[in-house]
Amino acid sequence: MLIDLLRARRSIRRFTQQPVEPEKLDLLLEAALRSPSSKGNNPWEFIVVTDRDRLERLSVAKAHGATFLGGAPLAIVVCADPAKSDVWVEDASIAATLIHLEATDLGLGSCWVQIRLRQREDSISSQAYLSELFGLPEGMMVLAVVGIGYPVDKKSGHPRSSLCFNQVSYEQFGQRS
């Protein structure tokens, strides 16, 4: 059941060096490509990265929170073309989320690295850095990078008691029950 998958999923930033098998990569990509998108525009594009040098270069794509990518055996760069859809951010976010859920279902760990609206240590935009690294066409935007691999440690899902039910309103904002 989906709720069991959601209960088990955690952000994982430490991976073994075991490569992700091609059949599992195919399932991760199928999950992303089955992602719903507004008006069926499918504005997303995905770049699969397994090369150690490129993964190291991804690890410095932004000032904080990307270093773990240098130790990941796989990353999927989630891009989108704003010319195809004015809701490309939402469409690409849904696809990235499905990659996370499929990774969990396959016994893999994953973690999202935000790229959109971020900068590197040297103040160059993360977008400009990755556009050059991957030879992106003009206008193609990078939303995020998802690092994926076999977790070093097993993490339990977050307990139900940690959920923010106090942020749920009924019928109108602020009406909590």
**Distance between CA atoms of residues 11 and 60, nearest Å:** 19
Say if residue 12's pLDDT is above 90: yes
Say if residue 122's pLDDT is above 90: yes
Q: Could you tell me if residue 81 is left (phi over 0), alpha (psi between -120 and 50 degrees) or otherwise beta?
A: beta
The pair of three-digit structure tokens given for residue 156, joined into one six-digit string: 């339990």
Are 92 and 80 in contact by the 8 Å Cβ rule? The answer is: yes
pTM of the entire predicted model:
0.97
CATH number of the domain residue 137 falls in:
3.40.109.10
Residue 174 in domain: no
How many residues can be counted in the chain? 177
The number of distinct structural domains making up the chain is: 1
> Mean of the per-residue pLDDT values for the chain?
97
**Distance between CA atoms of residues 148 and 28, nearest Å:** 10
Residue 176 in domain: no
CA distances from 139 to 38, 80, 93, 128 (A): 19, 9, 18, 11
Query: Would you call 23 exposed, middle or buried from its count of C-beta atoms within 10 A (0-12, 13-18, 19+)?
Result: exposed
Residue 112 in domain: yes
DSSP codes joined into one string, 95-118:
HHHHHHHHHHHTT-EEEEEE-TT-
What is the per-residue pLDDT for 149? Answer: 98
How many CA atoms does the CB half-sphere of 40 hold within 13 Å? Answer: 0
Say if residue 36's pLDDT is above 90: yes
Q: Could you tell me if residue 117 is left (phi over 0), alpha (psi between -120 and 50 degrees) or otherwise beta?
A: left
Say if residue 146's pLDDT is above 90: yes
Residue 144 in domain: yes
- 46-90 residue pLDDT tens: 999 999 999 999 999 999 999 999 999 999 999 999 999 999 999
pLDDT band of residue 100 (cuts 50, 70, 90) is: very high
Residue 146 in domain: yes
Q: Which residues span the domain enclosing 118?
A: 2-167
pLDDT band of residue 8 (cuts 50, 70, 90) is: very high
Q: Which of 72, 65, 23, 78 is nearest to 51 (CA)?
A: 72
What is the per-residue pLDDT for 177? Answer: 85
